[in-house]
């Protein structure tokens, strides 16, 4: 975070105790990371962000491996290295492979590495991230492969992590 464009919140700075506890509860060993320290410049933002991303990360039916796949692809498309570095280990831990993660870094992802479900998620991610609009055929394919609930969760994961990556890139995290 040497080039961060906003002074990060520091241990000892004012912050609601409950908010800090919630944010630390989402992090390994309770250690706040760079994005947390910038979010804490606005307590309402930090609270809402923590709640939303906490639900995306922990409460969706869509498998964690699929959610992490989406997060990595968004990180690549938006050139959010911090996001990649945070989510790569989580993707591997959730069942992803290094070979698939490496394939995500290509402009056009080779379908030979990915299942039909993963290909559909990557098509959604690419269209939503680069064009914003998503072809109706992609949505129909997601609904067919996952059902409506998990299709909505996949779309929400793409949207949420585009928000994350844009925040990270804008503040040079």
Three-state helix/strand/coil letters over 28-86: HHHCCCHHHHHHCCCHHHHHHHHHHHHHHHHCCCCCHHHHHHHHHHHHHHCCCHHHHHH
Is residue 1 predicted with pLDDT exceeding 80?
A: no
Are residues 132 and 166 located together in one domain of the fold?
A: yes
Are residues 109 and 81 located together in one domain of the fold?
A: yes
Of residues 107 and 144, more confidence is placed in 144
Query: For residue range 6-45, what is the model confidence (pLDDT) as tens digits?
Result: 999 999 999 999 999 999 999 989 999 999 999 999 999 9
pLDDT above 90 coverage of the chain, percent? 94
- Mean pLDDT in residue range 40-57: 96
What is the per-residue pLDDT for 2?
56
CA distance 104 to 90: 15
Q: How many CB atoms lie within 10 A of CB 143?
A: 15
Are residues 41 and 76 located together in one domain of the fold?
A: no
- Under DSSP, the state recorded for 151 is H
Tell me, rounded to whole angstroms, the distance of Cα 57 from its chain centroid.
8
Domain annotation covers residue 8: no
Domain annotation covers residue 4: no
Are residues 73 and 43 located together in one domain of the fold?
A: no
Query: For residue range 149-167, what is the model confidence (pLDDT) as tens digits?
Result: 999 999 999 999 999 999 9
58, 90, 109 - which closes a domain: 58
Domain annotation covers residue 71: yes
Domain that holds residue 161: 64-170
What is the per-residue pLDDT for 110?
85
Cβ atoms of 173 and 78 within 8 Å: the answer is no
Count how many domains the chain has: 2
CA neighbor of 87 nearest in space, from 20, 168, 10, 172: 168
CA distance 74 to 99: 17
What contacts 37, CB < 8 A, 6 or more positions away? Answer: 1, 8, 9, 10
CA-CA-CA-CA torsion sign (40, 18, 31, 54):
negative
Are residues 38 and 99 located together in one domain of the fold?
A: no
Is residue 3 predicted with pLDDT exceeding 90?
A: no
Name the band, by pLDDT with cuts 50, 70 and 90, for residue 102.
Answer: very high
Name the band, by pLDDT with cuts 50, 70 and 90, for residue 107.
Answer: confident
Q: Average pLDDT, whole number, for the chain?
A: 96
CA gyration radius for the chain? 16
């Amino acid at each position: 975070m040497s080039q961060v464009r906003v002074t990060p919140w520091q241990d000892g700075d004012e912050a609601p105790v409950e908010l800090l506890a919630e944010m630390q509860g989402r992090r390994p060993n309770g250690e706040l990371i760079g994005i947390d320290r910038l979010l804490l410049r606005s307590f309402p933002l930090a609270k809402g962000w923590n709640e939303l991303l906490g639900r995306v990360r922990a409460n969706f039916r869509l498998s964690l491996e699929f959610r992490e796949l989406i997060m990595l692809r968004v990180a690549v498309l938006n050139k959010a290295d911090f996001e990649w570095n945070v989510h790569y280990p989580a993707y591997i831990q959730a069942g992803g492979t290094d070979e698939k993660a490496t394939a995500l870094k290509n402009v056009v992802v080779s379908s030979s590495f990915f299942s039909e479900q993963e290909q559909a998620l990557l098509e959604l991610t690419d269209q939503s991230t680069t064009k914003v609009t998503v072809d109706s055929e992609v949505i129909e394919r997601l609904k067919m492969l996952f059902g409506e609930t998990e299709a909505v969760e996949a779309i929400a994961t793409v949207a949420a992590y585009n928000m994350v990556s844009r925040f990270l890139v804008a503040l040079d995290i």
